[in-house]
Structure 1
Amino acid sequence: MKINTFLSLTMLFAASSQTAMGKPLFIGDSLTYTLAKNYSQKAPVDAKYKVGSGLNNNILNWQNYAEQVDFENYDTVFVVMGTNDPITANQKGEYQHRARVFIRTLKRKNDKVVWLLPPTLKNQRNNALLANTRNALMEAAEQENIAWVDMRAALGTEYIQYLDGQQIRTHDGIHLTDAGARLTLRTLNVIQ
């Protein structure tokens, strides 16, 4: 696997002379990009993401990636993953186990891991399946003693594209706009 398949927001958005120490790392699927980009307007941040990836597909083996990367120098590792992993109730146990193994790998290198659960999707079928994914991730996070944040707390449990006159979701029914990312990040401030 090549690390250069990832985008480091540190290089794109106001590269800082600071070391990784003192800043967080966001890793995950394409939702990671907008969250990290908006966080970078507040403070230095690193981000590694792969579009379409998750724990349940072959786009990127996140477990192998986690075993190879040095996470020790980050304040917090925010995992933004699950949106591309809609699962059935029968798949929940296997997915939860995969998440627990991934979390353990991260925690061996950094104790402060926070998992951001997928937001509500416009596609009702995928959103119904993501209820299983969210549940598996919450249980895995609790079993491994890490924090989790449900993005629906900021963006709503029902899919909405606009909130208070601002567009918070893109037209594809999946991704966040900058306003949606800022709203989600405000929720993270509760635990930072």
Structure 2
Amino acid sequence: MSARRALLFVVACLALLAVLRSAAMVHAGEGMPPGTTRDLVLGVARPLDEVTSALRLNQPDRLLTKAFGHPDPTVGKADDSELAAAAALAEPDANTGTGTGTGQVKDRSRDGDAADALRTPTPADPLRVLVTGDSLTESLGPTITKTAPPAIRAETDTRFGTGLVRPDFFDWATHARHQVAERDPEAVVVAMGGNDGQGITQPDGTILPAGSPQWEAEYRRRAIVLMRIWSDGGTRRVYWLGLPPARSTTLNGYFARMNEATRAAADRVPGARFLDLRPTLSDGGAYTDYLTDGGGHSVLIRTRDGVHLTLDGARLAAGPVLHTLSGDWHLS
């Protein structure tokens, strides 16, 4: 076979594979870090998947996947997700003041007692901190690890392309339970929401438009479910970081809604706390690419997408996080 014919054969095989496994391409693309490669993959895979699904060309792949006992990425499982199913039970009962589902409403009168009960970590027995969330933790997590005092031992678990609105793609409730069981953190620092500016599909098929009051309420309920898993009744501390302003006006509107939802969620979960980073990462509440650091230097704090933090931005964000951890855990 000539080189030309061999190349055409390879291209044809790849094209056939793309057609038969288009949903898997979408699933893989959604999990990629933000950037040109992700945009290109999803730009091709999503339209292709719509066509192949309509023509049922993906059926052989689904049957073979099921026969070999592998997970089927072409099937959404939002209705099976604890994050979606338990969200309806996450709000407190108006009459009793207790949650009807996975925990109790936070009693603010006990916050001081709970804080006093925290141990004082030492370099020999450091505080176990988990920094987790979507790509917003990619630079923040390692920065916290590198700049933390010896009495804090931090590690990062970043899950690209994830959030609370798509448990069919990545179920944070299930993952949070694995994190608690496998890593046993004492404090969990959470940053996510960059991918959540999209509608929420309920288990019954109802779609809540992004930014609507119903969408915000559901986002709050899902945040409550997740915070309760991590906090385990207040035995752990959860620090949910607010989203700083985005360059995009539309995205910034979604971020404001998410901040209100997660702030309200933290008020309902023992051991949870909302940390607003907007004073640290904005110009008086407005988006900015540059800020002045502690040394008086003007530094670039945002990447080109107007959402993610540069290393200098991560260093600025790490400051209030570590300050809060040190204050709550009696570190000098």
Flag whether TM exceeds 0.5 (same fold).
Answer: yes
Q: Is 1:176 matched with 2:176?
A: no
Q: In the TM superposition, what are the counterparts of 1:23-172 in structure 2 within 5 Å?
A: 23-43=128-148, 44-57=153-166, 58-70=168-180, 73-86=184-197, 87-88=210-211, 89-108=213-232, 110-145=235-270, 146-156=272-282, 157-164=285-292, 165-172=298-305
User: Runs of 5+ in structure 2 lacking a partner?
Assistant: 1-30, 32-122, 198-209, 293-297, 326-332
In 1: Cα distance, 2:274 partner to 2:147 partner: 21
CA contact (8 A) 1:20 1:73 kept: no
TM-score normalised by the chain length of structure 1: 0.83
CA contact (8 A) 2:303 2:309 kept: yes
In 2: Cα distance, 1:55 partner to 1:42 partner: 29
User: Runs of 5+ in structure 1 lacking a partner?
Assistant: 6-17
Alpha-carbon shift at residue 172 of structure 1 (Å): 1.1
The AA in structure 2 aligned to 1:97 is R
Give the share of equivalent positions with the same residue, in percent. 30
Moved >6 Å (runs of 4+): none
In 2: Cα distance, 1:129 partner to 1:33 partner: 21
Report the 3-state secondary structure (helix = DSSP H, G, I; strand = E; otherwise coil) of the residue aligned with 1:172: coil
CA contact (8 A) 2:300 2:313 kept: yes
Map of 1:13 onto structure 2: none
Alpha-carbon shift at residue 187 of structure 1 (Å): 1.4
In 1: Cα distance, 2:175 partner to 2:318 partner: 25
Higher relative contact order (CA 8 A, sep 6+): 1
The number of equivalent residue pairs is: 176
- Residue by residue over 1:37-67, the C-alpha shift from the partner in whole angstroms, topping out at 9 and shown as x without a partner, is 1112224421111112111124421011112
In 2: Cα distance, 1:135 partner to 1:150 partner: 10
TM-score normalised by the chain length of structure 2: 0.49
Alpha-carbon shift at residue 79 of structure 1 (Å): 0.9
Question: What RMSD over aligned residues (CA atoms) do the two structures have, in Å?
Answer: 2.3
